[in-house]
Amino acid sequence: MKYFLDSAKMDEITYAYENYGIDGVTTNPKHIQASGQPFMVAVQNLADFAADKPDFPISIEINPHLTESADMIAMAEKIHQFSDNFAIKIPATENGIIAARHLEQEGIRTNVTLIFSAAQAIMPAKIGAKYASPFVNWKELNGEDGMGYVKDIAQIYRNYGYQTEIIVAAVRSGHQIVEAAKAGADIVTAGLDVYRDSFYHPYTDLGLKRFQDAWDNTPKEA
Ligand code: E4P
């Protein structure tokens, strides 16, 4: 399973790329707002980062106010001019699907986002979207099973050999990362803090302490 960083902060992206070898980046309007950069500055910085990394996909979302396919397509084309690494995030609405289909046909990769049911994930696969993004934690916060529909999507894609890659998004814990992997997700996207938390287990620290005590009480030379 690939690990993407869910962030538009260039310091976090650089850190996760250089130290963890993350496989890609996803952003959304909230992440770009949190990065403190004007939208087009963020786009340029992400394009610059990707310039020498041909296999490093970065998802950038269109203006979420756009509702007409033609407007979505126009904005996606404009963003995509900055980098071939960009996959354009398009909402899983009817007009979003129409736009994503058009974009894929002209060679612009898309990430159909805001998917909250398996039914919403089938059409993105049929129209050849590069990615489909189910949002796990938002479902769980709403009292729903967050991972069940990811399992369904993975099974459906396997049944029909769909090439669309599942990005399990809105991931908040190591447990959700594991569940995504068990469900058969291609990719998980999470913030740096989630990955950092997933490294931690108290027994690792306890074990280190025990081994340090043993090390300190062992003669080093004959
Ligand atoms: C994924 O592509 C999204 O950017 C993200 O995971 C959405 O959820 P969040 O902003 O609540 O993490």
Which residues form the domain of 90? 2-216
Residue 93 in any domain: the answer is yes
For residue 216, report the distance from its CA to the centre of ligand 1, in Å.
46
pLDDT, tens digit, 9 for 90 and up, residues 61-100:
999 999 999 999 999 999 999 999 999 999 999 999 999 9
Q: How would residue 172 be classed by pLDDT, with cut points 50, 70 and 90?
A: very high
Residue 221 in any domain: the answer is no
- CA-based nearest residue to 35, from 65, 64, 13: 13
For residue 162, report the distance from its CA to the centre of ligand 1, in Å.
23
pLDDT, tens digit, 9 for 90 and up, residues 186-214:
999 999 999 999 999 999 999 999 999 99
Question: Span 1-22, mean pLDDT?
Answer: 98
For residue 96, report the distance from its CA to the centre of ligand 1, in Å.
18
Question: Span 146-170, mean pLDDT?
Answer: 98
Q: How would residue 147 be classed by pLDDT, with cut points 50, 70 and 90?
A: very high
Task: Quickly list DSSP for 56-85.
Answer: --EEEEPPTT--SHHHHHHHHHHHHTT-TT
Which ligand 1 atom sits closest to the C-alpha of 190? 6
Residue with CA at minimum distance from ligand 1 atom 8: 170
Residue with CA at minimum distance from ligand 1 atom 11: 170
Residue 222 in any domain: the answer is no
Residue 180 in any domain: the answer is yes
Question: Span 163-185, mean pLDDT?
Answer: 97
- Substitution site in 189, 192, 193, 194 for ligand 1 pocket (most atoms within 8 Å of beta carbon): 189
Q: Is the CB of 189 under 6 A from ligand 1?
A: yes
Q: Is the CB of 170 under 6 A from ligand 1?
A: yes
Concerning whether 139 is annotated as a catalytic residue, the answer is no
CATH code: domain of residue 148 = 3.20.20.70
Helix 39-50 to helix 10-20 angle (10° resolution) is 20
For residue 169, report the distance from its CA to the centre of ligand 1, in Å.
5
Domain count, the chain: 1
